[in-house]
Structure 1
Amino acid sequence: MEFTVDSPARTLAAALGATLYSPATRPRLAADVLKQAGRGVMSMVLCLEDSIGDGDVAAGEENLVRQLGLLDEAAEAGENLPLLFIRVREPRQIPDLVRRLGRAVRRLSGFVLPKFTEGRGMPFLEELAAAESACGRRLFAMPVLESPQLLHLESRAAALQGIARAVGAHRDRVLALRLGVTDFCSAYGLRRAPDMTAYDVQIVASVIADVVNVLGRADGTGFTVSGPVWEYFRLHERMFKPQLRRSPFVGEAEELRNALIEHDMDGLLREIELDRANGLTGKTCIHPSHVAPVHALSVVSHEEFSDATDILRPEQDDGGVLRSAYTNKMNEVKPHRAWAERTLLRAEVFGVAREGVGFVELLTASLPPA
């Protein structure tokens, strides 16, 4: 389906896909954004926080205002833009940037709020609400959960409850919650290798599980929680064997398998699948090469679509158990309903693969030309 910055929040949260980060100091930022939009990027974060030096913040703000003005002109001329967010450092930057952007603020979807806790996050949300009123446009928040209070066992439960209160008070304004796994690892001096996923680092996996437990529930109280960043995009020496089975890659696709392994993409593909299995939607990305795999694996398979539509048929409202049309599983209507609803929302945005088409074909078709 088509969507714009003014689409319903439910649609936009599912449509974020691979959210690509870029430093706000890039001199050709507007051109970069247009280039990535042409390659299928659906959302970007223009960063004034960790990706730039402390002494570059003022120059980054000036560049950001100038480049968003250029993007406003490009959109006026018919260019498509991704959803654009600014990652700020301090609450006061939000109203200041909105004021300085002028008309160009209409191209902005919102702000990314770093190191979010209840105490630190509420001033950001209050400034965002005020800026929204001042400019007359809807502006979303995407808090980043990355503070040590979330990682440390003795403070985790209280920190999660505080975050739940803060985002709950601004529910209509919070588009998604983002996980800052790099900061989690930093608190213990850790860094996962390219042949390991975030879920192999048990202290990180436990935080992800607790965040989803408290903030990602499917009972109407939860929020979209995005997958953590994948840091690697070039060849590294391997200690473990590749994580991609050979069987899906037959014939000419074997070359694709070798290329994915060579660029450490096999770990990324596995992590994307584990993200979804653990209740996460979309992914933070720091390199354009990560976008196609995230989007290819976001497409709903024909089997998933078949199961979801069967579960949600009106005649099944009373519950019961159905045999899958693929005759390989049971579909229990009431327990699987929330999964089916989430699957059909993803299908609206990313589409449904034809029967017999798997992620290998989708990934091959979505990769940019060499």
Structure 2
Amino acid sequence: MRHFGHLGVDVRRRLFLVEPAAFDRHAPAATLATALGATLYLPATRGTLVSDVRRQAARGVTSMVLCLEDAIADGEVTAAEANLVDGLRALAEPVGAAGPGPVGLPLLFVRVRVPEQIGVLVGRLGTAARLLSGFVLPKFTEENGARYLDAVADAELACGQRMFAMPVLESPELAHLEHRRLELLGIAALLAKYRDRVLAVRLGVTDLCAAYGLRRSPESTAYDLALVAGVIGDVVNVLGRADGSGFTVTGPVWEYFPLGRSGAELTGLLREIALDRVNGLLGKTCVHPSQVPAVHASLVVGHEEYCDARDVLGSAAERGGGVVGSAYANKMNEVKPHRAWAERVLGRAELFGVARAGVGFAELFAACRDAEVRGGR
């Protein structure tokens, strides 16, 4: 896989100073956590599940979640499980040169409802379980978390390959102030025991809003809701630290679609993506394919950002600290305080690329949309 690999070679050369690097599902966990990008959720009830997965892979989607939880009704679970098993078995079969086989698929995860569902699904999938990179664990709490994580570990043993967990923090225990501190500290201690198993921590803002009967509008962001913003800040405070104890924390779902071509229709999403970034979040949960190009275009490292990060790390290797001037002559780069930031920027640059000077979001987004039009999608 390669972000923006669906764009033509000439287009990529025009847009990128440094093109995104290729990766696969066997890459180190830190690489995959950064590479998740726009994680597209797909209800497991979809009758076109197989073609949907292949089509989205061809459009540049590199991570998908097949959802058995809130995306489907309670009465649809049995049928959704059967459809998911049949679909993954079909995807496991190689196809001809006209389309991608298993190698051309995105990172695939299943969002389950209860821990016991993990083992049942792996057993039913048989060898097709090898297509999965792991499981998304909803309503994750200190109380139920060990059962979920043990189930993922058992699944790994059963299918003989690495399986990751992505806990979703969305329970009332986190929304309610009187429980939040102890709940977060308990989750942090639990995840530390399973560190090699946890790929990223996801935020379930829709459920957090539900605890207070709230919903953000298309013009507002999760950070405009003071109650939700407080939870996000506390989650990053405890679980997103840059001292080696933290995890990648992904941005919350954006509920509104479809996105057209006008800038006005992108305003809310882009504001939230920008606030995700400055608040320490990376990647985003998406519920519609039209959201993916916007998220990925926003993750490309800008030329100025790249120059500053590279200068900070270069100076860090040569000197014990101090200040270095920005190549753009508009800011102060402090070697020690900015080092962790610079490392994260260059990690993102490796997987999402570096834009040429003068190339910004608009050009990157337009190239992705033009590729869709030319592909007839």
Fold shared per TM-score above 0.5: yes
Q: Which amino acid aligns with 2:37?
A: G
Moved over 3 A (4+): 74-79, 314-317
Q: 1:296 to 1:75 in 2, by over 3 A?
A: farther
Q: Which residue of 1 aligns with 2:263?
A: 260
**1:58 Cα deviation from its structure 2 partner:** 1.1
Paired with 1:141 and 1:24, the residues of 2 have a C-alpha distance of: 18
Aligned length: 347
Q: Which residue of 2 aligns with 1:278?
A: 279
Paired with 2:70 and 2:152, the residues of 1 have a C-alpha distance of: 20
Q: Which residue of 1 aligns with 2:128?
A: 104
Contact 1:316 1:333 in 2 (8 A): no
Instruction: Give ranges in structure 1 of 5+ residues lacking alignment.
Output: 236-254
Q: Which amino acid aligns with 1:260?
A: G
Contact 2:258 2:288 in 1 (8 A): no
Q: Which residue of 1 aligns with 2:144?
A: 120
Q: Which residue of 1 aligns with 2:366?
A: 364
Q: Which residue of 1 aligns with 2:212?
A: 188
Q: Which amino acid aligns with 2:35?
A: A
Paired with 2:288 and 2:95, the residues of 1 have a C-alpha distance of: 24
Paired with 2:358 and 2:112, the residues of 1 have a C-alpha distance of: 44
Paired with 2:189 and 2:120, the residues of 1 have a C-alpha distance of: 26
Q: Which amino acid aligns with 1:13?
A: A
**1:134 Cα deviation from its structure 2 partner:** 1.7
Is structure 2 residue 14 aligned with structure 1 residue 6?
no
Question: Please, which of 341, 352, 355 is the counterpart of residue 353 of structure 1?
Answer: 355
| TM-score calculated relative to the size of structure 2 | 0.90
Paired with 2:82 and 2:330, the residues of 1 have a C-alpha distance of: 57
Question: Please, which of 75, 81, 87 is the counterpart of residue 61 of structure 1?
Answer: 81
Q: 1:207 to 1:76 in 2, by over 3 A?
A: farther
Is structure 2 residue 225 aligned with structure 1 residue 217?
no
| TM-score calculated relative to the size of structure 1 | 0.91
Is structure 2 residue 231 aligned with structure 1 residue 231?
no
Partner SS for 2:208: helix
Q: 1:211 to 1:126 in 2, by over 3 A?
A: same
Greater relative contact order, per chain length (Cα 8 Å cut-off, separation 6+): 2
Partner SS for 1:3: coil
| 1:153-186 C-alpha deviation (Å, 9 max, x unpaired) | 0000011011101111100000000000000110
Q: Which residue of 1 aligns with 2:200?
A: 176
Q: Which amino acid aligns with 2:57?
A: A
Paired with 1:316 and 1:167, the residues of 2 have a C-alpha distance of: 36
Q: Which amino acid aligns with 2:110?
A: I
Q: Which amino acid aligns with 1:299?
A: V
Is structure 2 residue 90 aligned with structure 1 residue 70?
yes
Q: 1:326 to 1:72 in 2, by over 3 A?
A: same
Is structure 2 residue 47 aligned with structure 1 residue 16?
no
CA RMSD of aligned residues (A): 1.5
Is structure 2 residue 48 aligned with structure 1 residue 28?
yes
Q: How is 1:314-325 mapped onto 2 (pairs within 5 angstroms)?
A: 315-325=317-327
**1:76 Cα deviation from its structure 2 partner:** 8.5
**1:105 Cα deviation from its structure 2 partner:** 1.2
Q: Which residue of 1 aligns with 2:306?
A: 305
Contact 1:75 1:81 in 2 (8 A): no
Q: Which residue of 1 aligns with 2:296?
A: 295
Question: Please, which of 342, 345, 360 is the counterpart of residue 344 of structure 2?
Answer: 342
Question: Please, which of 63, 71, 74 is the counterpart of residue 51 of structure 1?
Answer: 71
Paired with 2:50 and 2:133, the residues of 1 have a C-alpha distance of: 16
Partner SS for 1:297: helix
Paired with 1:74 and 1:84, the residues of 2 have a C-alpha distance of: 16
**1:188 Cα deviation from its structure 2 partner:** 0.4
Q: Which residue of 2 aligns with 1:330?
A: 332
**1:316 Cα deviation from its structure 2 partner:** 3.5
**1:208 Cα deviation from its structure 2 partner:** 0.2
Paired with 1:356 and 1:305, the residues of 2 have a C-alpha distance of: 13
Partner SS for 1:204: helix
Paired with 2:234 and 2:27, the residues of 1 have a C-alpha distance of: 30
Paired with 1:129 and 1:226, the residues of 2 have a C-alpha distance of: 22
Contact 1:30 1:67 in 2 (8 A): yes
Paired with 2:244 and 2:121, the residues of 1 have a C-alpha distance of: 33
